[in-house]
């Protein structure tokens, strides 16, 4: 079949538009809109004792000022806890505008609306807020020590104690031939999409309806939240995600205060209002992720096989918990990776700090879990003088053990049962790809050049495509155009291309005829959102099912016209054909016309469907009972549970022992996401993920000082790597299709970022022979580590020094 496009590296059809500046991002909408700007807290923890707006009132162009006092009804209540959980015993959320107290720098206190953003900022600058400063908690250790409380009524700063176990870990550890314990840290980074958040709202006073554009990952739920908070009927609110310049997780959180306040102002003022987040706002007022303290005890035997694993994590959730304990759950359940862990206990204490909230950032707790597990593997190998790859190999779940039940409960409330995979296969491919066995030769070469070389690896399993559902709608028009809609949103992943490939393949039409719309509640009002590597799994399968429904109806109508059995028909290049009978065919566009019986011929094609166009069957109504006019179908995909993708990364680093600069000289990825819709897009996702993995390992961190001030809230000081810092990436693929969904696919969006920190930490440790127990690591920190007499040497280093190999 010529139109079989599933699995082909089709070029991204959206790129030309986006690259030449024809994209339509939030700030491209509503040039005449009023602009909102915010007065945000300069303090990490304070009581608000007064707000004096007088100084702003004579700013020409000022339209309105809102404080908490102006909020009523549901708007005066705290923002929702989006994902409640029984173990989230002390949830807290902020208010759309601060209600008497602020808990992090950047929390919104006053909204100013003016004729443009410049004037709004001029007015905001003149508003005087007085504060009574309160003690500040920064970092997991301070939160745990709880010398002060972030929220007065939660004295231990603990929002949740998430706990899962698969057996009785204490006796299992006691019975283990060997055990080791260690503590390690991982720092905060953030999504930092190229486009920040943004909201545009337009109120139609006559129709009493609201249209909101938001740079969001969840337009349907933003719609529901706006309707609920502003007391509007759902059908009077439409929310559209226009082109969105990246999300990486931060835009799945909703409703952001601005998503409610901007519509509130638009309705109150009867004018369009817009807010575009600036970079500083994004750093201090959106979300971060990843800080954890991890205390790990592992039991293992003389061969390096794990017998028991006990993990206690303190997870910094920032000032509030609007996204529940999703990140702690993901860390707790994805930590086990591709390994058999006979007895596992995990406790994650999610603690409050006076910093920006923590919600999913690409990987969403998985990089931390991977860091815990993979560094445990490295420690076992080191203790036993075994090859790190061999220790991993001995612990892997084998290909014949699927479905593999870890007896844990995942973030979707469903069991962690791995559907399919081949982890020994991944490891074998990775060793070959990176040249694992040649590491010692490379090390000697580098030493001759005055460099320290190290190699490290990390493996992961990623639960992707969680439910509850997504839907798809496919419609063939009389023009031959095929309209496809799904409710989840796009932030640059190439959905216009990959979803079109699925429909073109399922329906047998040219891809050029397929038009895809995402994230527009006018086109598809039921959706969950784009997160957790779920778009291809969820909407991809829903769209495929919808396309199959259209195909079935088209064949039924065609069979009638061509007087053939539907079983004898095929569709190719948009034409239904009786197999093996040339000339006996009918275009899909004609079937589309015939599928909708007409009274009025508004164009030439429509004539064919009118009442006198041909002989009819007077014994049947024009639309049969149970049938519907139009060649279209709507369908939904709701998975029984998540599907589990997997992969393995390896990094080779060279370190300059004079400056302690760290250079990644090789980065290898083996990746398995089941059946691949578009390998070029999947590779792009891997590349972007690896870039963020390298970022989190070597460059990015949120540099909070003791007072809760973010010291690097700009791209000058927050070191997002440039292309010059991201290594070339060697990729090899493996495919173990998912048995859980019709297309056999697994998610690919987050995979690339997950093992970066673990693999790079391992490689640096291998190079310098010092234990790396805090990531990210910078040259100045590495210098501190290597000249500290108290820092722990690895056993491997001691052994190598003994044989003179390090000399």
Partner 1 sequence: MKPAPFRYADPDTLDEALAVLSAEGEGAKVLAGGQSLLPLLSMRLAAPTTLVDINRVPGLDTVEVTGDGVTVGALVRHNQLLGGHRDAMAAARVQPLLARATANVAHPAIRNRGTTVGSIAHADPSGEMTAVLALTGGSVTVASPAGVQTVEWRDFFVGPLETSVHGAEVVTSAFFPALPPRSGTAFAEVARRKGDYAVCGAGVVVTLDQDRRVERIRASYLSVGLTPEVHDLTDAVVGKPVDSADWAAAGALARTLVDPDADIHASADYRRLLVAVLTERTLASAAAEAAARATVE
Query: Rule CB under 8 A: which residues touch partner 1?
Result: 117-118, 121-122, 125, 278-280, 658-661, 699, 703, 711-712, 714, 716-717, 719, 721-722, 724-725, 778-780, 783-784
- Closest to partner 1 by CB, 402 vs 699, is 699
What's the min distance (Å) between Cβ of 121 and partner 1? 5
- Closest to partner 1 by CB, 156 vs 661, is 661
Closest CA to 376 of 537, 217, 183, 564: 183
- Closest to partner 1 by CB, 118 vs 602, is 118
Residues 6+ apart with CB under 8 A from 575: 585, 586, 587, 588
Do residues 752 and 682 touch, judged by C-beta distance below 8 A? no
Residues 6+ apart with CB under 8 A from 670: 426, 429, 430, 433, 647, 648, 649, 731, 732, 733, 734
- Closest to partner 1 by CB, 356 vs 586, is 356
* Token digits of residue 732: 């090899």
- Closest to partner 1 by CB, 785 vs 796, is 785
* DSSP symbol at 695: I
What's the min distance (Å) between Cβ of 776 and partner 1? 11
Do residues 632 and 476 touch, judged by C-beta distance below 8 A? yes
Closest CA to 315 of 290, 334, 340: 290
- Closest to partner 1 by CB, 147 vs 716, is 716
Q: Buried (b) or exposed (e) across 386-410, using 16+ Cβ within 10 A?
A: bebbebbebbbbeeeebebebebeb
What's the min distance (Å) between Cβ of 282 and partner 1? 10
Q: In what order do the strands lie in the sheet with 514-518?
A: 514-518, 482-486, 470-476, 631-637
Closest CA to 557 of 592, 581, 583: 592
- Closest to partner 1 by CB, 688 vs 747, is 688
What's the min distance (Å) between Cβ of 768 and partner 1? 15
What's the min distance (Å) between Cβ of 62 and partner 1? 14
Do residues 188 and 291 touch, judged by C-beta distance below 8 A? yes
Beta-bridged to residue 454, according to DSSP, are: 653
Name all contacts of 386-389 with Cβ < 8 Å and 24+ positions apart: 386/304, 388/456, 388/457, 388/762, 389/427, 389/431, 389/436, 389/457
What's the min distance (Å) between Cβ of 783 and partner 1? 5
What's the min distance (Å) between Cβ of 285 and partner 1? 13
- Closest to partner 1 by CB, 283 vs 637, is 283
- Closest to partner 1 by CB, 1 vs 57, is 57
What's the min distance (Å) between Cβ of 770 and partner 1? 16
- Residue 569: alpha-carbon gap to chain centroid: 41
Do residues 274 and 111 touch, judged by C-beta distance below 8 A? no
H-type helices in 175-245, by residue range?
219-230
- Closest to partner 1 by CB, 284 vs 333, is 284
Closest CA to 710 of 128, 235, 281, 206: 281
What's the min distance (Å) between Cβ of 657 and partner 1? 10
Beta-bridged to residue 40, according to DSSP, are: 108
What's the min distance (Å) between Cβ of 485 and partner 1? 36
What's the min distance (Å) between Cβ of 772 and partner 1? 17
Beta-bridged to residue 223, according to DSSP, are: none
- Closest to partner 1 by CB, 61 vs 587, is 61
With H, G, I as helix, E, B as strand and everything else as coil, classify residue 753: helix
What's the min distance (Å) between Cβ of 201 and partner 1? 21
Length of the chain: 807
- Closest to partner 1 by CB, 66 vs 718, is 718
The CA distance from 798 to 221, in Å, is 56
Closest CA to 226 of 242, 214, 217, 243: 214
């Amino acid at each position: 079949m010529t139109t079989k496009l599933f699995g082909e590296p089709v070029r991204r059809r959206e790129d030309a538009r986006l690259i030449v500046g024809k994209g339509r991002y939030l700030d491209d909408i509503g040039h005449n809109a009023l602009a909102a700007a915010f007065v945000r807290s300069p303090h990490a923890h304070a009581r608000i004792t007064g707000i004096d707006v007088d100084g702003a009132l004579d700013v020409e162009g000022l339209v309105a000022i809102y404080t908490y006092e102006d909020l009523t009804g549901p708007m005066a209540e705290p923002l929702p806890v989006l994902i409640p959980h029984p173990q989230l015993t002390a949830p807290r959320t902020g208010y759309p505008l601060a209600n008497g107290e602020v808990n992090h720098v950047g929390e919104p206190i006053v909204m100013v609306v003016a004729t443009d953003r410049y004037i709004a900022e001029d007015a905001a600058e003149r508003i005087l807020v007085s504060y009574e400063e309160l003690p500040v908690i920064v970092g997991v250790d301070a939160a745990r020590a709880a010398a002060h409380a972030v929220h007065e009524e939660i004295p231990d700063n603990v929002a949740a104690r998430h706990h899962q176990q698969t057996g009785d870990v204490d006796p299992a550890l006691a019975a283990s031939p060997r055990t080791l314990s260690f503590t390690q840290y991982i720092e905060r980074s953030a999504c930092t999409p190229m486009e920040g958040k943004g909201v545009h709202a337009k109120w139609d006073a006559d129709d009493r309806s609201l249209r909101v554009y938001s740079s969001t990952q969840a337009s349907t739920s933003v719609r529901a939240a706006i309707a609920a908070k502003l007391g509007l009927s759902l059908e009077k609110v439409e929310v559209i995600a226009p082109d969105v310049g990246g999300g990486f997780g931060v835009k799945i959180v909703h409703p952001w205060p601005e998503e409610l306040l901007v519509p509130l102002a638009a309705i109150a003022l009867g004018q369009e209002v817009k807010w575009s987040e600036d970079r500083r706002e994004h750093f201090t007022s959106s979300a971060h992720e990843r800080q954890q303290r991890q205390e790990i005890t592992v039991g293992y035997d003389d061969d390096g096989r794990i017998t028991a694993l006990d993990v206690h994590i303190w997870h910094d959730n920032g000032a509030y918990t609007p996204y529940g304990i999703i990140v702690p759950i993901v860390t707790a359940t994805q930590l086990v990776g591709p390994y058999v862990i006979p007895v596992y206990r995990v406790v994650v204490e999610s603690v409050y700090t006076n910093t920006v909230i923590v919600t999913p950032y690409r990987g969403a707790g998985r990089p931390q879990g991977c860091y815990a597990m993979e560094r445990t593997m490295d420690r076992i190998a080191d203790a036993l003088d075994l090859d790190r790859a061999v220790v991993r190999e001995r612990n892997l779940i084998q290909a014949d053990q699927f479905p593999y039940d870890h007896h844990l409960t995942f973030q979707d409330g469903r069991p962690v049962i791995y559907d399919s995979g081949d982890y020994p296969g991944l490891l074998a491919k990775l060793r070959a790809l990176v040249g694992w066995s040649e590491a010692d030769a490379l090390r000697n070469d580098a030493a001759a050049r005055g460099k320290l070389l190290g190699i490290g690896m990390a493996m992961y399993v990623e639960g992707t495509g969680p439910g509850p559902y997504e839907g798809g709608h496919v419609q063939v028009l009389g023009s031959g155009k095929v309209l496809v809609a799904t409710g989840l949103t796009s932030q640059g992943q190439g959905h216009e291309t990959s979803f079109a490939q699925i429909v073109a393949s399922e329906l047998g039409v040219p891809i050029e005829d397929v038009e895809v719309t995402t994230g527009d509640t006018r086109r598809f009002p039921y959706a969950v959102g784009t997160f957790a590597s779920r778009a291809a799994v969820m909407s991809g399968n829903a769209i495929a099912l919808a396309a199959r429904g259209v195909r079935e109806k088209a064949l039924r109508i065609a069979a009638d016209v061509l007087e053939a059995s539907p079983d004898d028909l095929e569709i190719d290049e948009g034409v239904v054909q009786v197999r093996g009978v040339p000339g006996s065919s009918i275009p899909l566009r004609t079937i589309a016309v015939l599928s909708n019986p007409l009274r009025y011929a508004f164009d030439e094609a429509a004539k064919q469907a009118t009442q006198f166009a041909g002989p009819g069957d007077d014994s049947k109504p024009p639309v049969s009972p149970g049938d519907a006019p139009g060649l279209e179908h709507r369908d939904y995909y709701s998975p029984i549970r998540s599907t589990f993708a997997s992969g393995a990364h390896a990094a080779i680093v060279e370190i300059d022992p004079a400056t302690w600069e760290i250079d990644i000289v090789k980065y290898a990825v083996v990746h398995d996401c089941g059946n691949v819709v578009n390998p070029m897009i999947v590779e792009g996702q891997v590349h972007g993920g690896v870039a963020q993995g390298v970022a989190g390992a070597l460059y990015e961190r949120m540099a909070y000082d003791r007072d809760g001030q973010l010291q690097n809230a700009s791209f000058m000081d927050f070191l997002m790597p440039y292309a010059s810092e991201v290594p070339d990436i060697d990729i090899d693929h493996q495919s173990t299709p998912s048995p859980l969904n019709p297309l056999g696919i697994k998610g690919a969006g987050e995979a690339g970022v997950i093992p970066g920190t673990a693999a790079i930490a391992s490689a640096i440790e291998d190079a310098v022979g010092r234990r790396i127990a805090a990531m990210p690591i910078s040259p100045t920190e590495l210098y501190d580590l290597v000249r500290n007499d108290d820092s722990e040497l690895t056993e491997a280093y001691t052994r190598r020094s003994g044989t003179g190999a390090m000399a």
